[in-house]
Amino acid sequence: MNKISYFILFLAINFGGLALGSWLMNNGPTSEWYINLNKAPWTPPGWVFGVAWSLIMLCFSWYLAELFSDRKSKFLWTVFAFQVLLNVGWNWVFFNQHYTLLGLVVITALLLLIFYFFITFRSDRLKYAKYLLLPYLIWLCIATSLNAYVVFYN
């Protein structure tokens, strides 16, 4: 499979994951439960989430296309699948089930997994591609802090 084919595949998987996660939210940010939460003062407006996730998934898909063009292994597919599960699962755990502490555990695991991608796969060919993960890492730090605020200040 060439890089363009991988990019298209990962775009489909990643945006499909976002769509599935959105569906699992049970009205998510517009739900009465979420509206009534004591949210962090730095919580961005709702439109920022859509823009951020679109940028993140574009960059992440490009990174994955580079990574999978360079390395092909069952282990790598497994790590990627676990990332999808954590990313989609957080929406269900946090918004649908209202398990804020478990949500914090899930999002922290996701942050650590993306950091694992950043520090582990850095061959010469990938040394610049790893910076495509920075939007994801930055956003996960913000999202983790937002989730932690809900856990500790509600």
Is the Cβ–Cβ distance between 64 and 10 less than 8 Å? yes
Would you state the pLDDT for residue 26?
87
Residue 72: the pLDDT is 84
Q: How many CB atoms lie within 10 A of CB 31?
A: 15
Q: What is the pLDDT of residue 126?
A: 84
Helix (H) or strand (E) holding 72: none
Cα 46–chain centre separation: 17
Q: Give the list of residues 6+ apart from residue 68 with CB closer than 8 angstroms, or none.
A: 1, 6, 10, 76
Mean pLDDT, contiguous 10-residue spans, the chain (154 residues): 97 97 92 96 95 98 95 94 98 97 98 96 83 98 98 96
**What does the longest C-alpha to C-alpha distance in the chain come to?**
49
User: Looking at residue 36, what is its pLDDT?
Assistant: 96
Angle at 122 between CA 129 and CA 50, to 5 degrees: 40
Structure tokens at 14: 């990643």
Parse the chain into domains and list their residue ranges: 3-152
CATH code assigned to 3-152? 1.20.1260.100
pLDDT at position 121 is 83
Show the DSSP H helices in the chain as ranges. Answer: 3-23, 32-35, 46-70, 74-91, 100-120, 134-152
Which pLDDT does position 122 carry in this prediction? 74
